Structure 1
Amino acid sequence: MAEVPTPEPTGDELLKALSALGNPHRMRIVAALTERRNYVSALAREIGMGRPLLHMHLKLLEAAGLVIGSLEVAEDGKSMKYFEVAPFLYELTPQLFARAVRTLSETRPRESADHKTAEPTKEEAK
């Protein structure tokens, strides 16, 4: 069976993934989940992080598509959220960035008629 190629990320997807991975705590979380899937309390103990902070980091990683969370009910009726690493591969090349930047949803800075410098648009200033 032929391997299905991974679709190239859009600019927004690439930016979200790189932003999520640009934090040492989130890198540690991905590394820990590479070993095995885990539930929040056990993962917090394993990496030495409080659960509220871990939840925040997991939420960002999940939004970037780098981890997958699933709620499971144990035999005792207790709900536990398990996380695992999502398969991902980014080959970072200048050409990838050139293609990705064309798909960014953010607007480009516009030039000021007075100063000929880039000014943020109203949307960027928000």
Structure 2
Amino acid sequence: MANVEDAEKLSEVLQVLANPIRLKMLALIAVRPRYAYELSKYLKLSYPLTHLHLNLLEKAGFISGSYVEGPRTKKVYRLNDFQLVISGEILRKIGEKLESP
């Protein structure tokens, strides 16, 4: 995940993390890689809704999915290494960008 020093990008990342379901998914994937079906059963979500949340997490860079060959090809999701820090310095840089013409 890239440094977020833009108000729009920071807002997008925080919106992804603001959902309790996605936070639970991240926590479960942090323990070990997971399949969408496994997450949908554990969290009692429909399979399409599970995929929607996983796609948002993947797009934001928190997880990566890769296909595993077998009798049925499945996509397994792994946690990406990331660190989220919102400091006064980062907010100041965002503010300075907003002020400049």
Give the alignment's TM-score, normalised by structure 2.
0.82
For structure 1, list consecutive stretches of 5 or more residues without a partner in the other structure: 1-5, 104-126
Count the aligned residue pairs.
Answer: 97
Residue 85 (structure 2) aligns with: 91
Give the aligned residue type for 1:60: L
Runs (5+) with no aligned partner, structure 2: none
Instruction: Find the partner of 1:9 among 4, 24, 30.
Output: 4
| SS of aligned partner of 1:25 | helix
Task: Summarize the Cα distance change of 1:66–1:100 in structure 2 as closer, same or farther, 3 Å threshold.
Answer: farther
Runs of 4+ in 1 over 6 A off after TM superposition: none
* Root mean square deviation, CA, Å: 2.2
**CA-CA distance at 1:79 after TM superposition:** 0.9
More helix as a share of residues: 2
CA contact (8 A) 1:17 1:66 kept: no
Bigger relative CO (Cα 8 Å, ≥ 6 apart): 2
Query: How far apart are residue 94 of structure 1 and its match?
Result: 2.2
The CA deviation at 1:15 is 2.7
Is the 1:17–1:65 Cα contact (8 Å) retained in structure 2? Answer: no
TM-score (norm 1): 0.67
Larger Rg: 1
1:54-82 deviations in Å (ceiling 9; x for gaps): 100111111100111111211x2x11011
Which AA in structure 2 matches 1:79? Answer: T
